[in-house]
């Protein structure tokens, strides 16, 4: 979405008490600005390409229907089959969790398993989203 703040930088967090990770301080105000009502929450989804998670605010999820239509047009132009239901399932099965003033949040266990995150998470900015990696998975990418 034009004019929206973007994420920049990287940071790491270790699993803390009560099974919580800490969202990097520089990402918190950006996420709040991206959410309706300036709410302190983040949505996560499994990356369809890599063994990591994608973290984002409402401004990104508000674009899901538009993204699907664009992908359908591109697939049609390229003569490639496009599975709309599969893509909807990938996008709309995200998990949204609140974070407190200290950035602490609980990551759903199913997402931790999907991204192979154990006791460390590496947050890597990717413009309008954040990629959340297990350090070993990111390292294996080269």
Task: Decide if 20 contacts 104 (C-beta within 8 A).
Answer: yes
pTM, rounded to two decimals:
0.91
State yes or no: pLDDT of 137 exceeds 70: yes
State yes or no: pLDDT of 1 exceeds 70: no
Candidates 60, 134, 71; CA nearest to 96 is: 60
Average pLDDT over residues 22-39: 96
pLDDT tens across 58-86, in order? 999 999 999 999 999 999 999 999 999 99
Candidates 106, 101, 95, 99; CA nearest to 16 is: 106
């Amino acid at each position: 979405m034009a004019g929206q703040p973007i994420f920049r930088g990287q940071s790491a967090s270790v699993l803390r008490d009560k099974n919580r990770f800490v969202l990097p301080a520089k990402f918190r105000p950006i996420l709040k600005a991206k959410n309706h009502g300036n709410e302190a929450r983040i949505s996560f989804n499994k990356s369809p390409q890599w063994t990591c998670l994608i973290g984002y605010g409402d401004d990104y999820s508000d674009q899901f229907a538009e993204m699907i239509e664009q992908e359908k047009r591109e697939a049609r132009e390229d003569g490639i089959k496009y599975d709309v239901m599969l893509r909807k399932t990938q996008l709309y099965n995200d998990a949204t969790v609140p974070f407190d003033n200290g950035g602490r949040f609980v990551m759903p266990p199913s997402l931790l398993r999907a991204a192979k995150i154990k006791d460390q998470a590496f947050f890597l900015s990717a413009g309008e989203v954040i990629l959340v990696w297990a350090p070993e998975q990111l390292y294996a990418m080269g």
